[in-house]
Structure 1
């Protein structure tokens, strides 16, 4: 038979979704599953967003501009300006999710064989995007012992080669929940400027920050106009994962004109989803106050429960809604599958994401899992109790 491409063979499975068949079988067997594996919030989408799709005067569902609907980009620019990011609608290209934004960017600023340095562990699909574009990921390894803080800037310096074109961070981080300080952002910015590199920040969780901390964007740093690129999305911010609307934001005109060519090749982002996303920008600030308070309470509940399990080590997140937990096991992939296939507590079990898929360094994170605290506190307590009892059985 004809052969598939090398790129196709190298494309990794999603560590988050590869266990779905086992979960479906468990459900068929009558088990109830607490889904801690995926960042799908149970927070309701704002009603004004849903109403904008239900009640509109659209008669022909036509293409939008390739860079996105003008009125949406203008309102999006105002949103950024209100967060101390001075951009205009011309600095924004609307994409079909943050995923498309990253693929367009990688294709625009890097050739096959070029390198991007990424603080590790990182969102698993970064590997998929790099594979799809022929880009090599160079990890800057962070450790659970220091809460996945940014490595010393000298670590990044040593990783830079003539092939290095960019540094990519997620702030706050998925899967760690780590929040970069202003000092860390400024150090990375200085490094990018000194070495003439792009600094790319995935800021899709920017609204979810806890403990009195403040999110600081790379586009708040003076002198970074030609070097900084923000990747963003409505998916988590407004609990609109299914809308698949993201954005790429940069004041570098060459980058934006190049990205636009890729955007034109796919014609336009989805029109109804843009209508919904534009309406989302009218969501009152109180929405985020309430949502942040809920996530903070969930985080505290989850971390306390995990710390109460013998042998479990957990990093305390300061943003987003994920944490990495180190378990007293050798193979989290096997454990996660075993939970679905062979274990239940009174007919209930849990689904978790093995953390090895969030590392590009071989054999790292094999005893770690990512847990998403996207369930209510009662469910989180039940889920962590199932984990506690499962570990007792699994170890024996």
Structure 2
């Protein structure tokens, strides 16, 4: 039980710390504005520097593909369009339960606007209990909880592509309707970068295959990142503040505690663009250069921009084939912004897919009760939770 009386004495320190951070953030934003003005006069030169010295720079820098001093208005969404979204949740495995297994539940949403069609709101659960599902990650030193999250990402991508493509493909009555497939979070699976090649090959190729299915069906996919902590875009300004002729971090700065180009750390991209964008506007496009993207096909390399959706500045990611089609890109942004307005600050399709996917405590109890009943019917005896789990559930404290 949390003792709120003891906790209350620590709260003033938090508010004082946040007040100091807010003041420091204003100073960093002012410095970033100054750097931005200088960068805009030599943007192409800095892009060439980045391309030539990228392998010597030890922090992630995105490449701007539009003028950095530009802000773009997002058009209104088309009257008739469709939105597809998936999100996942899970029941983690426990040795104290009646069976050592885990469950992944993927919520599916398909909403049609201006078409007089019923929406789809459901979820698809899948149980994993075989040895190859439970212990395959041990050979790479990956915890099962972590591996389960990777498997969930695969299921979300595959079910999104299956749902959207089945709707759009022949008989073809819906091919001309503008549409958008959305996922909650980034399209850059940076957390896979440190995994062994064999592990990555079980996770990333199925996801990219699902994206390719969407591309062939001409369904744009978009990742929506709320409260983004990324600094990829703002890091481009560090090229301007580098005191050396060429940015060679390995040779020039490897023995320093703080790099001389870190004059605006820890300013985030979203914080910077919040000062420059008006509601309904987007920043210039960037091309991400994170190392994991070397495993993506050229058409699937990730571009991103920042959009002032009214309630916040969100990071929006799309694959290259969408970014290179300006009409499709603007149409996708307009549908996304419409979703945010309908969801009062967050895309309604993503919120509903989460609600369909989430596994509550009552759902977990019913799942294991159903499993227990099935085991008893199969003639398996001594079915039950561990004494520790039973005691925790029946505590009188």
Q: TM-score, normalised by structure 2?
A: 0.30
More helix, by proportion? 2
Q: TM-score, normalised by structure 1?
A: 0.30
